[in-house]
């Protein structure tokens, strides 16, 4: 059996428990559910809220270099600290935070395989005590949006050039049957469907029942069977960019694709964009 | 109240939900959902002859805030008439849950109230035709997470 391309970025729950007191390690919980951290978290873990901490509060964009430095410094993360992310929803937001950290070139980052659900399922310890660390003086690199982030104009050119896109939403969203769940407010986009040429490979196909990533061979087969191969320039998208950061992580770090980007504007931008081409069978 | 007190109030309702479960033969059975979070709530309501809530229960899945707010809502509205329900202001609920705590998740905080108010608006026309307001139970919260 082959190995993940970057096995060092994925750690298990047992490994994390063994390293709880490692002073050079910071564990960071990133959830969709904003109060789950308060319900109980891995002892010593800090909270990073994707909405409050990582996003610009006014413009639809991410924090800038100063903001990033402030977030890390306030969590006691120094330039030599390794950060292990974990969270709910099979690590959607953990991989999203990981991706935002990579915009700033933060290399000492890992994901706890299986996320919060696996830690809880294994009855590992949880704490309600808020972890506090002395502030550090973190110095960040400038944010670089050119390598792993895609913008709508780039996606337009990508489509025109016939390059592959992965739509990681549910098949119902992909087919334009749903903008959201049936019977509920169909909000978030004016139109349903998918970006022309995009292949539908739901993010969940990459994980097992317990939330851990499938084996390298299984992942390779999953994407290869849809024509998503490492020699290509690949863009992943979903509704707001969180599920697709999960797929981005799998393609880039587990399969080692050299060029894969996350289109964080995703369907909430494309499905609202005037004259944007849409495929809907 | 301090932020931490609001959080403890929410966690108490989340971990020890009040009025959780189904009701036999309700006068209103309505669903609500929040596609952003995948929250789903189903409300079961019994009314007396004056359209006063005599019992209310909820079922659902979702984030801490949405489930805690649904639990609290059932306590808040029991005994109120539908007229009063229609006039409820979101802010009353948000002030109790903690504006600072729920400000980034207002849809979650108001999901159950929004669902109940929608039902309260629709119910009179159903009642006029001799019908109850019964929706099929929708538990498709997994669709967006597939």
Task: Give the confidence band of B146 by pLDDT, cuts at 50, 70, 90.
Answer: very low
The two three-digit tokens of residue B59, written as one number: 């079922």
Question: Which of B15, B101, B140 faces A181 most closely, judged by CB atoms?
Answer: B140
Residues of A in contact with B38 (CB under 8 A): 181
| Closest by Cα among A186, A221, A222 to A202 | A222
pLDDT of residue A2: 80
Query: What's the CATH code, domain A7-121?
Result: 3.40.250.10
Task: Give the confidence band of A34 by pLDDT, cuts at 50, 70, 90.
Answer: confident
**Over the stretch A79-118, which tens digit does the pLDDT of each residue have?**
999 999 999 999 999 999 999 999 999 999 999 999 999 9
Q: Do B37 and A32 touch (CB under 8 A)?
A: yes
Is A160's Cβ below 8 Å from some Cβ in B? no
Say whether pLDDT at A215 is over 70.
Answer: yes
Query: What's the CATH code, domain B3-130?
Result: 3.90.1010.10
The two three-digit tokens of residue A101, written as one number: 């950290």
The two three-digit tokens of residue B51, written as one number: 């359209």
Q: How far apart are CA A42 and CA A128, in angstroms?
A: 9
The answer to whether A166 and A198 have CB atoms below 8 angstroms apart is: yes
* Number of Cβ atoms within 10 Å of the Cβ of A75: 23
**Over the stretch B92-123, which tens digit does the pLDDT of each residue have?**
999 999 998 998 788 899 999 999 999 999 99
Q: How far apart are CA A156 and CA A162, in angstroms?
A: 10
**Over the stretch A222-278, which tens digit does the pLDDT of each residue have?**
999 999 999 999 999 998 999 999 999 999 999 999 999 999 999 999 999 999 999
Choose the mutation target among B39, B40, B134, B144 for the interface with A, i.e. most A CBs under 10 Å. Answer: B144
A30 labelled catalytic:
no
Residues of B in contact with A183 (CB under 8 A): 31, 33, 135, 138, 140
**Over the stretch A130-188, which tens digit does the pLDDT of each residue have?**
999 999 999 999 999 999 999 999 999 999 999 999 999 989 889 998 775 444 455 67
CATH 3.40.250.10 occupies which residues in chain A? Answer: 7-121, 152-270
Quote the strand ranges of A69-154, DSSP E: 82-86, 109-112
Interface of B with A (CB under 8 A): 7, 10-11, 14-15, 31-38, 40, 63-65, 101, 104-105, 135, 138, 140-141, 143-146
For chain A positions 39-98, those within 8 Å of chain B (CB to CB) are 39, 49, 51-52, 89
Rg of chain A in Å (alpha carbons): 18
pLDDT of residue B38: 75
**Over the stretch B13-32, which tens digit does the pLDDT of each residue have?**
999 999 999 999 999 999 99
Nearest CA to CA, how far is A80 from chain B (Å)?
32
Q: Do A184 and B33 touch (CB under 8 A)?
A: yes
Pairing of strands B133-134, A46-47: unpaired
* Number of Cβ atoms within 10 Å of the Cβ of A95: 28
Query: What's the CATH code, domain A152-270?
Result: 3.40.250.10
* Number of Cβ atoms within 10 Å of the Cβ of A216: 17
Share of chain A above pLDDT 90, in %: 89
- Cα dihedral sign for A88, A93, A95, A101? negative
The two three-digit tokens of residue A55, written as one number: 């996003």
Helices (H) and strands (E) in chain B, counts: 6, 4
Question: Which of A35, A182, A188 faces B138 most closely, judged by CB atoms?
Answer: A182
pLDDT of residue B31: 92
Question: Please, what is the Cα angle at A166 between A163 and A169, to 5 degrees?
Answer: 155
| Closest by Cα among A223, A227, A210 to A252 | A223
pLDDT of residue A104: 98
- Cα dihedral sign for A148, A149, A151, A156? positive
* Closest-CA residue of chain A to B105: A34
The answer to whether A274 and A191 have CB atoms below 8 angstroms apart is: no
Q: How far apart are CA A101 and CA A107, in angstroms?
A: 8
A62: which strand partners?
Answer: A55
Q: How far is CA A244 from CA A62, A79, A92, A179, A180, in A?
A: 16, 28, 8, 16, 17
Tell me which residue has tokens 């979650």: B108
Q: Do B104 and A33 touch (CB under 8 A)?
A: no
């Amino acid at each position: 059996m082959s190995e993940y391309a970057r096995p060092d970025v994925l750690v298990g729950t047992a490994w994390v428990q063994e390293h709880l007191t490692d002073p050079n390690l910071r564990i960071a919980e990133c959830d969709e559910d904003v109060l789950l951290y308060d319900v109980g978290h891995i002892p010593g873990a800090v909270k990073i809220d994707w909405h409050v901490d990582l996003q610009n509060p006014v413009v639809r964009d991410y924090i800038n270099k100063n903001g990033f430095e402030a977030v890390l410094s306030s969590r006691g993360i120094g330039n030599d600290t390794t950060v292990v992310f974990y969270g709910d929803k099979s690590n959607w937001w953990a991989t999203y935070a990981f991706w935002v950290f990579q915009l700033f070139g933060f290399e000492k980052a890992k994901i706890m395989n299986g996320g919060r659900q696996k830690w809880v399922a294994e009855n590992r310890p949880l704490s309600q005590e808020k972890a506090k660390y002395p502030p550090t003086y973190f110095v960040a690199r400038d944010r670089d949006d050119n390598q792993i982030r895609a913008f709508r104009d780039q996606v337009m050119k990508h489509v025109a050039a016939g390059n592959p896109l992965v739509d990681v939403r549910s098949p119902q969203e992909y087919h334009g049957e749903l903008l959201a769940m049936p019977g509920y407010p169909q909000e978030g986009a004016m139109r349903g469907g998918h970006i022309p040429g995009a292949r539908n490979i739901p993010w969940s196909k990459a994980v097992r029942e317990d939330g851990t990533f499938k084996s390298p061979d299984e992942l390779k087969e999953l994407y290869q069977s849809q024509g998503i191969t490492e020699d290509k320039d690949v863009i992943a998208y979903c509704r707001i960019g969180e599920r697709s950061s999960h797929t981005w992580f799998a393609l880039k770090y587990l399969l080692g694709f050299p060029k894969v980007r996350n289109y964080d504007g995703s369907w909430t931008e494309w499905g609202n964009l005037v004259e944007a081409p849409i495929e809907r069978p | 109240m301090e932020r931490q007190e609001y959080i403890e109030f929410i966690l108490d309702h989340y971990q020890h939900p009040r009025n959780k479960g189904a009701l036999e033969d309700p006068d209103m059975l309505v669903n609500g959902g929040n596609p952003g979070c995948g929250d789903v709530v189903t409300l079961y309501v019994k009314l007396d002859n004056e359209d006063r809530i005599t019992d209310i229960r909820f079922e659902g899945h979702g984030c801490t805030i949405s489930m805690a707010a649904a639990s609290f809502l059932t306590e808040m509205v029991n005994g109120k008439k539908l007229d009063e329900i229609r006039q409820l202001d979101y802010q009353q609920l948000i002030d109790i849950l903690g504006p600072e705590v729920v400000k980034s998740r207002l849809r979650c905080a108001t999901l159950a109230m929004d669902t109940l108010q929608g039902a309260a608006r629709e119910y009179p026309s159903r009642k006029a035709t001799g019908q109850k307001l019964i929706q099929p139970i929708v538990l498709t919260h997994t669709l967006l997470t597939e």
